[in-house]
Amino acid sequence: MSPHLASLRYTNAYAALGEPFSTPVAPTPFTAPPRVLHFNPAAAALLDLDPAVAADPQLPTVFSGAQALPGMAPRAALYAGHQFGVYVPQLGDGRALLLGEVRNEAGERWEIQLKGSGPTPYSRGGDGRAVLRSSIREYLCSEAMHALGIPTTRALCLIGADEPVVRERVETGAMVTRLAPTHVRFGSFEVFYYREQHDHTRTLADFVLAHHYPEIEPGDPARYQRLFETVVGRTARLIAQWQAVGFAHGVMNTDNMSILGLTLDYGPFGFMEVYDPGYICNHSDHHGRYAFERQPQIALFNLSCLAQAMLPLMEFDAAKAALDAFDPQYQAHYGALMARKLGFDSEHGADPAVTALRETLLQLMRASRADYTRVFRALAGVACEGPVPPALRDQFIDREALDRWVADWRARLRAAARNDAARGVAMRAANPRYVLRNYLAQRAIEQAERGDYREIDNLMRVLARPYDEQPEAAHYDAPAPDWAQNLQVSCSS
């Protein structure tokens, strides 16, 4: 563990691919002095950095692009993507830069990426900046997802400055430093397919295999097919985790789909509060393409775009078979996760009785506009005998229907012979008490816009332990108050 940023040693494997995979670009620092709004020791540890780095005077200058450390090689990556179903031939890092890649003592590779660092050749007329509002959302949510056990990019620090950035109104700029083993996306492959640069597709696939999929034998003649199958499997698992926790990504374009199956690019995401399968978190998504219940099928569409881009490397039949395996894998993961949320073992994921209990409960929640997170958490505290506690019952309008459901659920639990105490512990580990509700993020944003960053820290602490009771933070589990009922989050960021 080092307390100094200057001790980082860079491997820069992706940068070494050179053009056209990425292009050297110097960050554009803020004109106003940068300051550290938040620093995340948990992410620093991934780079073998000591928490004392928070006080390193280089922290704000390096992670606002004002100073490069020896060994850093800032580059913007090229990619394309299907946005809302339409192919856009050139996207790329329009406001992000890869600063460098570090290999930690455990042998893991971590790319360090700066988001909001100014224009690049891929900015397409944009200013290359990110506003404080969206930077806080990405910063908080990536760490909240990690704590929930959901694969995601990580966030190292949040840097702000009194730098005006024009959106619908004048806002202030900020930069998030994020970490991922690689930021390669489905769109990184698509760009070469549509340009008919299949050698580059192969180079990229070889890079991803060599550095990120060591479990696939380099000499395996079917290695590209294996890569695709593995990406399908990881994506199926990721989406099942999103659905189980009630997370809507909001912009599932192929350029926002990670080749590692990570949650990537936090924009207008939302944690569903009132249970509604048609929940649309992105105010700009007028047709609900990315509505909550559509996420699995959109993931499959995105995977089929990746399959097409990788067709020069694998047989059509193999690609087809891998795509056909998406839905069964998704259903198996989702079933297992929901079985655990209901107090059963994951092996009961495909049990028709458990599936029926799940579907009926969701229907009751929908009819009552019940809070998704609170209902499941309350269920963890319901014993196999006795009256149904108000914490659960009061969330439903049709209470007799709920009572009938509880009776069926209890009967099935008795058949599975689980004792209340052990089941309660297991259910609390499967049903978070705390998720990043929109209004919680909004409150932290509004305070930060007034120069008070304490709520960011409060949320980081609470959301780092989403499954723990945390009595001192009990109010963070509350549903949206009236002022936040119609909060709108759009693509503007």
Active site positions, annotated: 255
The amino acid at residue 469 is E
* Three-state DSSP class for residue 177: strand
Q: CA nearest 132: which of 172, 79, 178?
A: 172
First to last CA, the chain: 35
The reply to whether 273 sits near Mg ion by the rule CB under 5 A is no
94 binds, among Mg ion, ligand AMP, none (CB under 5 to 8 A by kind): ligand AMP
* Least distance CB 396 / ligand AMP (angstroms): 38
- Closer CB to ligand AMP, 48 or 265, in the complex: 265
451 binds, among Mg ion, ligand AMP, none (CB under 5 to 8 A by kind): none
- For residues 329 and 349, the answer to whether their CB atoms sit within 8 Å is no
- Closer CB to ligand AMP, 171 or 455, in the complex: 171
- Closer CB to Mg ion, 163 or 265, in the complex: 265
91 binds, among ligand AMP, Mg ion, none (CB under 5 to 8 A by kind): ligand AMP
The reply to whether 143 sits near Mg ion by the rule CB under 5 A is no
Structural tokens at position 224? 């590209």
- Closer CB to Mg ion, 265 or 455, in the complex: 265
* Least distance CB 191 / ligand AMP (angstroms): 11
**Backbone conformation region of residue 250, classed left if phi is above 0, alpha if psi is from -120 to 50, else beta:** left
The reply to whether 177 sits near Mg ion by the rule CB under 5 A is no
Q: What does the binding site for ligand AMP look like in residue numbers (CB under 6 A)? A: 91-95, 122-123, 126-129, 251, 256, 265, 267, 491
* Least distance CB 337 / ligand AMP (angstroms): 27
364 binds, among ligand AMP, Mg ion, none (CB under 5 to 8 A by kind): none
Q: CA nearest 188: which of 21, 17, 307?
A: 21
- For residues 56 and 5, the answer to whether their CB atoms sit within 8 Å is yes
463 binds, among Mg ion, ligand AMP, none (CB under 5 to 8 A by kind): none
* Least distance CB 127 / ligand AMP (angstroms): 5
* Least distance CB 121 / Mg ion (angstroms): 16
Cβ-count burial of 385 within 10 angstroms (0-12 exposed, 13-18 middle, 19+ buried)?
Answer: exposed
The reply to whether 153 sits near Mg ion by the rule CB under 5 A is no
Which residue in the block uniquely carries the two structure tokens 């309660």?
424
List, in order, residues 6 or more apart from 257 with CB less than 8 Å away.
185, 186, 187, 235, 264, 299, 302, 306
Residue with the shortest CB distance to Mg ion: 265
- Closer CB to Mg ion, 178 or 223, in the complex: 178
The amino acid at residue 34 is P
- For residues 477 and 160, the answer to whether their CB atoms sit within 8 Å is no
Q: Which of residues 253-272 bind Mg ion (CB under 5 A)?
A: 256, 265
The reply to whether 138 sits near Mg ion by the rule CB under 5 A is no
- Closer CB to Mg ion, 261 or 466, in the complex: 261
Q: CA nearest 209: which of 195, 221, 223, 222?
A: 223
Instruction: Give me the residues that bind Mg ion (CB under 5 A), please.
Output: 256, 265
